[in-house]
Structure 1
Amino acid sequence: MASAENKETASPTALMVAEMARMMRIQRGWTQEQEGQELGYSAAAVSAMETCAQPASDAMLVELERVLGNGTGVFLTARRYMRMERLPEQFQDYALLEEAAVSLQLFVTNVIHGLFQTEAYARALIGGGYPPLSDERVEELVQLRMARAALFDRDPLPMIEVIIDEAVLRRVIGSEEVMREQLLHLVECARRRNVTLLVLPMDAGKYGEYAAGHGGMSLVETPAHEHLVYLEAQEESLLISDPAKVSTYAQRYAKIRSQALGPRESLDLIKRLAGVKE
């Protein structure tokens, strides 16, 4: 819903889109009503976009590119950055790194990693969190999370390895059916050529060594072949670039990996938990 508060909190990208769209409309000699007819929106919606009372939605940006963009891609580029700005603040910098990564090595200890979540699992997780969010914000975050899965099919393909604590697979989020669907989705993800999925078993520490006690981590290799570590806990995040620290985390990850089940055993375990009969 359009509001004066939105005008005060609009992001830099939303402000840029509003100004460009307004200038391009005026150059064409269109009224807001005329532009709205071209876009498929009301004059009120165009006005709200131009004043940032209601910044352009994802769908409106596609139409702005079609009607005003002249093949420049300017509104589609803005669409990418506006998506990022709608993400939780602590995640925005990492989201750009994830989108462009050459490789990712992920260890998760509490819930299924966002890249691998189904829509139902994500909705149950986000909608059931605290503090509670509005239905509109829950749906926005769910769709943004789903959009991250485009990484799996990006060209060139990134190499993605994920180690999932077995406790995550046994923790029911949403319902038994939602969880079963999520487990089956993991099975499908594991069959991708660029994905390796491993499970850290519940008894990983029974022989006196346990490398996973410090929690989850994401190791990122950038297109420039820089190596970074991303940590997130309690809605706070930390991005580490210091080579010595990154090396320590990489060594810890390698140790966790050595204590995990192999790809075939991991897949068999997930299938059993999903109730798949061979």
Structure 2
Amino acid sequence: MTAMARAENKVEAGGTAHLVAALAKALREQQKLTQEELGKRIGYTASAISAMETCAQPASDKMLVGLEEQIGGGLGVFDKARKFILLDKYPPQFKNFALMEAEAVTLSSYQTFVIDGLFQTPEYAGALIAGGYPKLSDEKAEELVEARNARRSLFDRKDPAPMIELILEESVLQRPFGNWETLRAQLRSLAEDAERDNVTIQVLPIDRGLRGTHAGAEGPMKLVETKEHHRVVYLEMGEESLLVSDPVKVALLSHRYAKIRSQALSPDDSLILIRKLAGEERT
């Protein structure tokens, strides 16, 4: 990592990263461990431990697991910090929505250009993030991929298990990032997700506009029902975002989403198309 990247990380590191750094250093010193000794215990170099303690490179999720096991003392502080450290890594426009998504009772997404981030494979997300503009440093791109991949834990959450819907424009399934195999692997992963009991995936045909109506023409959206059973809509435009909570506006956007869903292929037909595009001919 360059000196400039380290300095940038220190400035951008959130409150959780600074708290974790201070706690890790205090607990390490309390247990009379050097940075090198702690690093060996959890599979890192002394310089990596130093970078974490100064926030030059905030703790990764893997490092937090190691810190909890080796110096956490059964308090669970590093384990609890994992969610908030990942939150700090999200783009600013997504942070307000990220926790809401993680705790959603129902999540409904309509996407027009790329696979929804919740469903992205690390390779697809990496190609998408690395190829963006302005170009990010390798370290920042890796952080964003890690944070995006961590969102997939929502699929396996229990009590309550969330109901997750995804509607994709057909063109999204044909738009490669990185290379064609990355796209095919992403489509295979998408097909596997579609078979989960709590997931429904539908495809809006590319020729829908020829029917005279296309309810999705005004762009992507995410609808969330929170654990308190409030409904909100998340809209994102580039580096800007909007959380809509006004009941009248939420109702209008929910009706638009319902119309988009009615114009899409059935879940079964959508899965057949996804498998076909992935090179799998199962029916």
TM (norm. structure 2) is 0.90
Shift of 1:203: 2.2
Corresponding residue for 1:52?
A: 55
1-side partners of 2:30 and 2:142: how far apart? 36
Corresponding residue for 1:216?
A: 220
Shift of 1:202: 1.6
Answer yes or no: is 1:24 the counterpart of 2:27.
yes
Aligned with 2:145 (options 142, 145, 155)? 142
Answer yes or no: is 1:13 the counterpart of 2:32.
no
Shift of 1:239: 0.9
What's the C-alpha RMSD, in Å, of the aligned pairs? 2.0
Corresponding residue for 1:261?
A: 265
2-side partners of 1:55 and 1:140: how far apart? 10
Shift of 1:85: 0.3
Moved more, 1-10 or 75-84: 1-10
2-side partners of 1:73 and 1:127: how far apart? 34
Shift in CA distance, 179/21, structure 1 to aligned 2, threshold 3 Å: closer
1-side partners of 2:12 and 2:18: how far apart? 10
Corresponding residue for 2:66?
A: 63
Shift of 1:36: 4.6
Shift of 1:119: 2.1
Aligned with 2:107 (options 104, 129, 149)? 104
Aligned with 2:136 (options 133, 136, 141)? 133
Shift of 1:260: 0.9
Instruction: Output aligned runs, 1:66-85, within 5 Å.
Output: 66-85=69-88
Unaligned 5+ segments in structure 2 are: none
Moved more, 112-121 or 52-61: 52-61
Unaligned 5+ segments in structure 1 are: none
SS at match of 1:206: helix
TM (norm. structure 1) is 0.91
Corresponding residue for 1:89?
A: 92
Shift in CA distance, 52/202, structure 1 to aligned 2, threshold 3 Å: closer
Shift in CA distance, 29/234, structure 1 to aligned 2, threshold 3 Å: same
2-side partners of 1:137 and 1:131: how far apart? 12
Shift of 1:32: 4.6
Moved more, 3-12 or 101-110: 3-12
Aligned with 2:238 (options 218, 222, 234)? 234
2-side partners of 1:23 and 1:198: how far apart? 51
2-side partners of 1:101 and 1:183: how far apart? 25
Shift in CA distance, 40/167, structure 1 to aligned 2, threshold 3 Å: closer
Deviations 1:107-129, CA, capped at 9 Å, x for gaps: 00011111112222212211111
Task: Decide whether the 8 Å contact of 2:164 with 2:198 is kept in 1.
Answer: yes
2-side partners of 1:70 and 1:80: how far apart? 19
2-side partners of 1:70 and 1:59: how far apart? 17
Corresponding residue for 2:164?
A: 160
SS at match of 1:162: strand
Task: Decide whether the 8 Å contact of 2:13 with 2:88 is kept in 1.
Answer: no
Deviations 1:187-241, CA, capped at 9 Å, x for gaps: 1111111111111112222232221111000000111111010011112111111
Deviations 1:46-70, CA, capped at 9 Å, x for gaps: 4433333333333322222122221
1-side partners of 2:10 and 2:123: how far apart? 33
SS at match of 2:141: helix
1-side partners of 2:37 and 2:181: how far apart? 48
Shift of 1:74: 0.5
1-side partners of 2:99 and 2:270: how far apart? 30
SS at match of 2:164: strand
SS at match of 1:19: helix
Give, as a single letter, the amino acid of the residue that structure 2 aligns with 1:53.
Answer: A
Shift of 1:44: 4.3
